[in-house]
């Protein structure tokens, strides 16, 4: 009987301490979003996680991969910023967000990069995909090949622009892997992502990143939205020797996305400057 009581007491104590050890991680998940992750890029340290492996449609965050492949091709001298691209009927008729391309337009790769980064142009993605690979489907195959190389184990791309497609998904963790490598390999890309306005013909295209020009150090990356995904964003900012990269997936509105992103970034910079000891204390 004494041995039985001892075992019972031991198990109770073990359960108590296990719960105590688990609670900080559980309480850290306080953002009003479906998934999130935050990294100090310079320290190569993930400092916040919340449902980071939950599969969610990427929406226009897909364009980060599309632009990554474009910059890869430029670096390999397969194309240049001045390469001219003729816009097909299919590209011009692409729905959703647009840089207002017309069939037969001849535009440069540089213009298409601005169209993707600033206006989130779905038409620009199809135009560059067709030019580089011959068709969107072949380009998407290259996107998935690159995702595999980057060890994005929970990502499948079905379109080059993030328009809704069955079986297309990603995670906050995978989007961090993509964005981290993208910024490190192609830092020149931030010139496009940091542009608040761009004009094509008579159209003034506006960047929807809520931090640009409003948050100290913010200089990219990309927003996204579909009904299925909610409001997504990958954002990066540098202050002094610290560059943070944040991923927010599945916010319920544009305002919630902006608010939760600011909270996460503020906490990250406070943590890295030793103003706080842990992020969960301020979220």
What pLDDT score does 112 carry?
Answer: 98
SS3 129: helix
Q: In whole angstroms, what is the distance from residue 77 CA to residue 79 CA?
A: 5
* Prior bond of 277 cis (ω within 30°): no
How many structural domains are present in the chain? Answer: 1
| Catalytic annotation, pick one of 88, 98, 120, 179 | 120
Position 2 in a domain:
no
> In angstroms, rounded to a whole number, what is the distance separating the alpha carbons of residues 162 and 164?
6
- Phi and psi at 235, nearest 5°, equal -135, 145
DSSP string covering 240-268, please? TTEEEEEEEEEESSHHHHHHHHHHHHHHH
Q: Would you state the pLDDT for residue 2? A: 45
| Within a domain: 184 | yes
Domain membership flag for residue 21: no
Three-state DSSP state, 49: strand
Q: Among residues 60, 97, 189, 229, which one is catalytic?
A: 60
Q: Are 92 and 101 in contact (CB under 8 A)?
A: yes
Question: Is 268 within the bounds of a domain?
Answer: yes
Identify the active-site residue in 63, 98, 173, 229: 63
User: Can you give the pLDDT at residue 279?
Assistant: 75
pTM of the entire predicted model: 0.88
Distance between CA atoms of 129 and 190, rounded to whole angstroms?
21
Is there a domain that residue 223 lies in? yes
Residue 13 lies in a domain: no
Does some domain include residue 152?
yes
- For 206, the token pair is 């506006």
CA neighbor of 224 nearest in space, from 102, 92, 56, 91? 56
Q: Is 60 a catalytic residue?
A: yes
> 155, 52 in Cβ contact below 8 A?
no
pLDDT along the chain (283 residues), means of 10: 43 34 44 97 94 97 98 98 98 97 98 98 98 98 98 98 97 98 97 97 93 95 96 96 96 96 95 78 66
Based on the number of CB atoms within 10 Å of its own CB, is 193 exposed (0-12), middle (13-18) or buried (19 or more)? buried
And the tokens for 146? Answer: 């690159």
State which residues form the domain around 200.
31-281
189 is catalytic: no
Asked if residue 20 is part of any domain, the answer here is: no
Tokens coding 185: 């390999």
| Residue 63 designated active-site | yes
**The pLDDT of residue 275:** 75
pLDDT at position 282 is: 62
CATH at residue 108? 3.40.710.10
From the list 135, 158, 133, 130, the residue with the least C-alpha distance to 62 is 158
């Amino acid at each position: 009987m004494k041995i039985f009581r001892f075992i019972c007491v031991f198990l109770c104590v073990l359960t108590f301490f296990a719960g105590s050890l688990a609670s900080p991680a559980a309480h850290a998940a306080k953002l009003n979003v479906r998934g999130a992750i935050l990294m100090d890029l310079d320290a190569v340290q993930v400092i916040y996680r919340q449902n980071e492996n939950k599969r969610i449609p990427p929406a226009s965050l897909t364009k980060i991969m599309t632009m990554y492949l474009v910059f890869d091709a430029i670096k390999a001298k397969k194309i240049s910023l001045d390469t001219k691209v003729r816009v097909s009927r299919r590209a011009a008729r692409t729905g959703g967000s647009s840089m207002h391309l017309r069939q037969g337009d001849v535009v440069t790769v540089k213009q298409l990069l601005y169209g993707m980064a600033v206006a989130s142009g779905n038409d620009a993605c199809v135009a560059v995909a067709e030019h580089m690979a011959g068709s969107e489907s072949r380009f998407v195959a290259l996107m998935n090949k690159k995702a595999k190389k980057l060890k994005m184990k929970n990502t499948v791309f079905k379109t080059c622009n993030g328009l809704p497609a069955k079986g297309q998904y990603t995670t906050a963790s995978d989007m961090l892997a993509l964005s981290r490598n993208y910024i490190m390999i192609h830092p020149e890309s931030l010139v496009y992502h940091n542009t608040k306005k761009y004009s094509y013909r008579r159209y003034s295209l506006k960047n929807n990143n809520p931090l640009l020009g409003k948050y100290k150090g913010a200089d990219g990356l990309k927003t996204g939205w579909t009904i299925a995904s909610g409001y997504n964003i990958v954002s990066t900012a540098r202050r002094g020797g610290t560059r943070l990269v944040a991923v927010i997936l599945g916010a319920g509105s544009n305002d919630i996305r902006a608010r939760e992103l600011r909270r996460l970034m503020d906490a990250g910079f406070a943590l890295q400057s030793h103003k706080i000891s842990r992020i969960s204390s301020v979220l």
